[in-house]
A and B are shown apart, each in its own frame.
Chain A
């Protein structure tokens, strides 16, 4: 609810002698994108739950997966990063509380694997409120922030007994990039690599 800051900022900036035209975002615009990012992450968390659930029709899952990938850099496909280096696609770290292993997979692989879990029933829920840092300017046309989420995973056997439970805290890199689409330049908030911060039994 700090939108008035934008107006106040405009008021004082202009009172100081007019606005220079820059590619930088105002504090209020960054707040807008922060709010936008929270909504994207909410959708991501919800779709993880949908893809893992045995109650969601299998025929819907490719569409849900496609929508989920659209939230990420280059929709999860290979891309060239801001420094000009090729990247094979957004990665997701996955941990296992049993053996402590933490492996990295392409996000699109992770989402596909979620739909093939061997448990009779799966529940993946958001355990805590998502938090997002402020956006910091990294380069011309690029801001970054980090969001943290917590997911609770419960796998049940045929008898309805939970046989695997963990609580994982993850960080999601968020990029705010200046892009041009059909000749129109605009800022685009996209999600990036997801790392495991901590995994524990509950």
Chain B
């Protein structure tokens, strides 16, 4: 009976394609790097939640392409970008945290090249991918709007060669987070791109040597977004990034001074080209939910279904996805680190089936054995609590 129930459920959610424009979240992080991996891990955790919040805020279907640890390679970066399947109303957000640099005397671009290798030992020029390449490939996919945000050094290195002949300039790098209103202000009715690199040519990018230990530009971006939520939710990209630049530079100078290093600061560079467009009246493009686990969890909290159906779905998901009812589920806060609850899978699924106002999830991490989940970490997103 359990197998039948699961099969019925599987058919139900696979057939239930979600009709929405797509928010493509592409993220590469040097989380295994000996020197900066600890900081990149924090950046990646936080950005996973932010990406999901953004997609949820603008009511778009989130499709994720996350590569960190040993998966962060130049081949995978090129492959994932070249295989992006964008529709005209889609948004692409590319985020990179790791090592970067630029060729000596390279005046062809102000943006850095990204080291796409799990660790920074024994790297070669072939491992370096220019931000301009990232931007160019995404722009060729013709989404409505795209952002590229890279948090890495932009200083010269003799091993790196200029690649302006290979890749023409134009890219976008951006990073952000915030409430629904702010996300919508930044993303809705916009066409074009935003590119942000965390340091100007010749400069390194700094990691915070204190909590929360993120890259300074990533941290500044997140903080300015959050401050804007409170005071100016209609903030535009130019104003936002000016604030991000000022804060990043200030933080870098303070840390350099404190560590008795040469004080040079850290200045971000940007390329912002945005046109305001009318809301699309077109028919949304059908996009299936790619992540089957997430689709299954969303079906458990689907308020259109009555309690008994949601609870039966909870049972089906438990049997279909988890190694046992005792599998561990950790609920974390918005920083991706603070554990708010640890539950057994059976308790978790029954709770979410009955919980009002639960609207979405961000699956941070999961460990599997024989294709079934042994433990999982996720962040829950609720609609407004009144």
Q: Which residues of A contact B188 (CB under 8 A)?
A: none
Contact of A129 with B386 in the complex, beta carbons under 8 Å: yes
Interface of B is mostly: mixed
A18 cross-chain contacts in B, Cβ below 8 A: 210
Report the Cα distance A132→B328, complex, angstroms.
29
Least CB distance, B258 to chain A, in whole angstroms: 8
The A3-51 residues at the B interface (CB cut-off 8 A) are 3-4, 6-8, 10-11, 13-15, 18-19, 28-29, 32-33, 35-36, 38-39, 42-43, 46-47, 50
Residue-by-residue, is B278-317 near A (CB-CB < 8 Å gives 1, otherwise 0)? Answer: 0000000000000000000000000000011001000000
Set B226, B227, B341: member contacting A36, Cβ < 8 A = B341
Q: How far is the CB of B59 from chain A (nearest CB, A)?
A: 20
> Which of chain A's residues 128-173 have a Cβ closer than 8 Å to chain B?
129
Contact assessment for A186 and B354 in the assembled complex, using a CB-CB cutoff below 8 Å:
no
Interface residues of B in 182-236 (CB under 8 A from A): 208, 210-212, 219, 222-223, 226-227, 229-230
Evaluate contact between B340 and A189: CB separation under 8 angstroms: yes
Within 8 A of A (CB), among B303-354: 307-308, 311, 328, 330-331, 333-335, 338-342, 347, 350-351, 354
CB distance from B39 to the nearest CB of A (A): 14
A-facing residues in B213-269 (Cβ within 8 Å): 219, 222-223, 226-227, 229-230, 251, 254, 258
A32 touches B356 (CB 8 A): no
- Residue of B208, B211, B230, B342 near A186 (CB, 8 A) is B342
A184 proximal to B (CB < 8 A)? yes
Tell me if B385 and A1 are in contact (CB < 8 A): no
Q: B357's contact among A39, A184, A189, by CB below 8 Å, is which?
A: A39
Question: B16 near A: Cβ within 8 Å?
Answer: no
Indicate if the CB atoms of A4 and B230 lie closer than 8 Å: yes
Give the nearest-CB partner of B222 in chain A: A7
Q: Evaluate contact between A189 and B342: CB separation under 8 angstroms.
A: no
Most buried by A among B226, B251, B328, B340: B340
Residues of B contacting A11 with CB < 8 Å?
251
In the bound complex, residues from chain B placing their C-beta under 8 Å from that of A56 are 307
Question: Number of A-B pairs whose CB atoms are under 8 Å?
Answer: 96
Given A4-B230, A50-B307, also A189-B338 (CB < 8 A): no
Main secondary structure of the interface of A (DSSP, over half): helix
Residues of chain B contacted by A46 (CB below 8 angstroms):
354-356
Q: Does chain A have a CB within 8 A of B179? A: yes
* Distance from A40 Cβ to chain B, minimum over Cβ atoms (Å): 9
Question: B19 at the A/B interface (Cβ < 8 Å)?
Answer: no
Question: For the complex, is B382 an interface residue (Cβ under 8 Å from A)?
Answer: yes
Q: With both chains docked as a complex, state the minimum distance between the C-beta of B333 and any C-beta of chain A, in angstroms.
A: 4
The residue of chain A having its C-beta at the shortest distance from the C-beta of B209 within the complex is A14
- The CB with the most chain A CB atoms within 10 A, among B219, B227, B333, B386, is that of B333
For the complex formed, measure the closest distance between the CB of B151 and the CB atoms of chain A, giving whole angstroms: 16
- Verify B338–A29 contact, CB threshold 8 A: yes
Q: Are B355 and A42 in contact (CB under 8 A)?
A: yes
A85 sits at the interface (CB 8 A)? no
Known contacts A1-B229, A39-B357, A43-B356; A7 and B351 CB within 8 A of each other: no
Find chain B residues with CB under 8 A from A6 CB.
335
- A184 near B342: Cβ-Cβ < 8 Å: yes
Which residues in A have their C-beta under 8 angstroms from that of B386?
Answer: 129
Contact of B308 among A1, A28, A36, A60 (CB under 8 A): A60
Closest B-chain residue to A9, C-beta based? B211
Once A1-B179, A14-B211 are accepted as A-B contacts, the answer to whether A7 and B219 lie under 8 Å apart by CB is yes
Q: In the bound complex, do residue B229 and residue A32 qualify as a contact, i.e. CB atoms below 8 Å apart?
A: no
Which among B211, B229, B311, B380 has the highest number of chain A CB atoms within 10 Å? B211
Binds B, one of A63-71, A87-95, A99-107: A63-71
How far apart are the CA atoms of A10 and B42 in the complex, in Å? 14
Contact between A1 and B230 (Cβ–Cβ < 8 Å)? yes
What is the 8 Å Cβ interface bit string for chain B, positions 98-119, against chain A (1 contact, 0 not)?
0000000000000000000000
> Can you name the residue of chain B whose Cβ is closest to the Cβ of A190?
B341
* Residues from chain B with Cβ under 8 Å of A67 in the complex: 347, 350-351, 354
Shortest CB-to-CB span from A186 to chain B, Å, is 4
Q: Is A57 located at the chain interface by the 8 A CB criterion?
A: yes
A50 to B227, CA, bound (A): 40
A187 within 8 A of B: yes
Supposing A1-B179, A4-B223 touch, asked if A186 and B339 sit within 8 A by C-beta, the answer is yes
- Closest residue to B230 on the A side, CB-wise? A1
Interface string of A53-85 (1 = CB under 8 A from B): 000110010011011001000000000000000
- Measured in the bound complex, the distance between the Cα atoms of B338 and A28 in whole Å is 10
- Is A60's CB under 8 angstroms from B311's CB? yes
Residues of B with C-beta under 8 A to A64? 307, 354
Give 8 CB contacts A-B under 8 Å: A28-B335, A33-B340, A39-B380, A42-B357, A46-B354, A46-B355, A56-B307, A188-B341
Other A-B pairs beyond A43-B351, A70-B347, 12, CB < 8 Å? A7-B219, A10-B212, A19-B211, A32-B333, A32-B340, A35-B385, A39-B357, A46-B354, A64-B307, A64-B354, A67-B354, A189-B340
Top 9 closest pairs, chain A to chain B, by CB: A14-B210, A4-B226, A32-B333, A186-B339, A10-B211, A67-B350, A36-B340, A43-B355, A46-B356
